[in-house]
Amino acid sequence: MKKILTLEDVEFAIKGGSVYACGGGGWVEHGRELGTLAVTIGRPELVTMDEIGDDEWIATAAAIGAPGGLTEWEMLGMDYVKAVSLLQDALGEKLYGLMIGQNGMSSTLNAWLPGAVLGTKVVDAVGDIRAHPTGDMGSIGMADSPEPMIQTAAGGNRAKNQYIELVTRGATAKVSPVLRKASDMSGGFIASCRNPLRASYVRRHAALGGISRALALGQAICAAEKSGKSVLDAICHTTGGQIIASGKVTANTLKYTNEAFDVGVIELGEGSGAVRIHVMNEHMAVENAHGERIATYPDVITTLTPQGQPLSAGKVAVGMEIVVFHIDKSLLPLSSSVIDPSVYPHVEKTLGIDLASYALNRSA
């Protein structure tokens, strides 16, 4: 099914993507800017994988970094277009379309502006239905592959002479950290285009329909806002998720690292109702007061206000009343990268906790 994306869809993508953002996934204002530009200057078109020929090229449009308000980043819409242009030039062939690495506050819309300007399709497939900290987690099975890939990036704080363009070639595991370092050097947030792959591969390894899910959730949220009904109820009903904790925030230790990650722990509640949320850009795990794991990536883990407004991890402040929303991974389409053991060691080392035994359903 083909669909011309509209201004109404921009709001749906932001609101639905903000839930799947899991505390990260970009910035609401940035997403609104990208989407509004795209549907104003062009007609970006959303297409499903069953409409795409096996031999067509599909790449991933993504933003790299930690725009949680802890750095002076700058990202312009045309940075996304430039990154795609750099990759097409390096590939020597035209891209049919762009998928995204993850849903998020702005990342759900990462492919829209290049689609409006360059004519690439917005492919209804994602590297991960929810947002995640590393590019490997959205690389649809390429993280441990020796196959040389092309990855490009563009963007940076112009006033501080931090604008960067780069084109890299090599195994994904080797070149992804290069783009992460470029993000840090640019101010903490940079546009990228990476890993051109044939549609036949994407069809087998991506989480299909990921953008449509975000749009449907956003539509349900907007309807609840207009009718005055509970937004939290609409989110739970649409996704099958549930609220697993609520309370006043007692600590947020989030700090920006030179790897362009926001890392720390958010604590809320008191006594037997207290929980700890482990954060690496996004909410990656939740423990109860007894230290027992109650949610773990790739589950959706989102902090919201009691009124249902998703909160970036960096905006969760001590004294706030918040709720923690959870969707079990069994209810989500999972890509090859989410069940790839090679994507977990770096994140586990950074956080100092086990993720893989939970994510991959194996004994700790």
Q: How far apart are CA 110 and CA 67, in angstroms?
A: 14
In a structure prediction context, what are the per-residue pLDDT tens digits for the chain, which is 364 residues long? 789 999 999 999 999 999 999 998 778 998 999 999 999 999 999 999 999 999 999 999 998 876 555 567 888 999 999 999 999 999 999 999 999 999 999 999 999 999 999 999 999 999 999 999 988 899 999 998 999 999 999 999 999 999 999 999 999 989 999 998 999 899 888 999 999 999 999 999 999 999 999 999 999 999 999 988 899 999 999 999 999 999 999 999 999 887 778 899 999 999 999 999 999 999 999 999 999 999 999 999 999 999 999 999 999 999 999 999 999 999 999 999 999 999 999 999 999 999 999 999 854 4
Q: How far apart are CA 103 and CA 310, in angstroms?
A: 13
pLDDT in tens, 276-325: 999 999 999 999 999 999 999 999 999 999 999 999 999 999 999 999 99
Can you give the three-state secondary structure of 263-320, one letter per residue? EEEEEECCHHHCEEEEEECEEEEEEECCCCEEEECCCEEEEECCCCCECCHHHCCCCC
Residue with tokens 């590297």: 127
pLDDT in tens, 334-363: 999 999 999 999 999 999 999 999 999 854
Q: How far apart are CA 150 and CA 171, in angstroms?
A: 9
C-beta of residue 205 within 8 angstroms of C-beta of residue 128:
no
Element (H, E) at 167: strand 164-171
- pTM as predicted: 0.94
C-beta of residue 120 within 8 angstroms of C-beta of residue 205:
no
Residues shown for the chain: 364
| Contacts (Cβ under 8 Å, ≥6 apart) of 223 | 234
Hey, what are 83's tokens?
Answer: 């990154």
User: Residue 354, SS3?
Assistant: coil
| Contacts (Cβ under 8 Å, ≥6 apart) of 326 | 241, 242, 243, 244, 286, 294, 295, 299, 300, 301, 302
User: Residue 106, SS3?
Assistant: coil
Q: Is the dihedral of CA 343, 324, 60, 262 positive or negative?
A: negative
Closest CA to 317 of 232, 231, 254: 254
Helices (H) and strands (E) in the chain, counts: 10, 17
The radius of gyration of the chain's CA atoms, rounded to the nearest angstrom, is: 19
Residue with tokens 């204002």: 29
User: Residue 37, SS3?
Assistant: helix
Q: Side chain identity at 307, as an amino acid letter?
A: Q
